[in-house]
Amino acid sequence: MTVVDRSLINLVLKECHDSPFSGHLSEDRTREKVKTCIWWPMWQKDVAEYCKTCDRCQKENKSTGKRLGNMIKIQSSRPWEIVHMDWVTGLPPGGDRSYNSCLVIVDRFSKTPIFLPWMIQPWIQLF
């Protein structure tokens, strides 16, 4: 067990709670993570305070009541009634026109995809 200097506590809490590997864990899970590797006096109180004052957690956690709502499942009753579209960009140029991206269209009903090669430069100039 490592004992940490008081000046490093915020750095430790940030790593155990905020880092991409932690993903803004709950207070209990952050406490579990801290207690496996490090100790300092009053560490449980510090973990609780840090989690309660985390700006991102206050905005996004269910307990704050600030979530936007539940996702609604949209049903499609026939092919091509609802489609999903997205771009795949950053591709190496290819084909007779040096396409560098692809527009992907997927039918919600049948899950049938359509892939349209595209040159992204002319598309960007439209905006």
Name which of 22, 71, 72 is nearest 51 in CA terms: 22
Identify whether 69 is part of a domain.
no
Which of 104, 118, 46, 110 minimizes the C-alpha distance to 79? 110
Q: Residue 10: give the domain boundaries.
A: 2-62
User: Given pLDDT bands bounded at 50, 70 and 90, which one contains residue 59?
Assistant: confident
95 and 56, same domain (yes or no): no
pLDDT score recorded for residue 24: 84
Q: Is the pLDDT assigned to residue 62 strictly greater than 80?
A: no
Least confident of 34-38, 60-64, 74-78: 60-64
**Residue type at position 26:** S
Q: How far is Cα 71 from Cα 57, in angstroms, rounded to an integer?
A: 20
Could you tell me if residue 68 is inside a domain? no
Claim to verify: residue 50 and residue 19 sit in the same structural domain: yes
**Total number of domains in the chain:** 2
Q: Answer whether residue 105 is part of any domain.
A: yes
d(CA 50, CA 58): 11
Question: In which band, very low, low, confident or very high, does the pLDDT at 67 lie, cut at 50, 70 and 90?
Answer: low
pLDDT of residue 71: 79
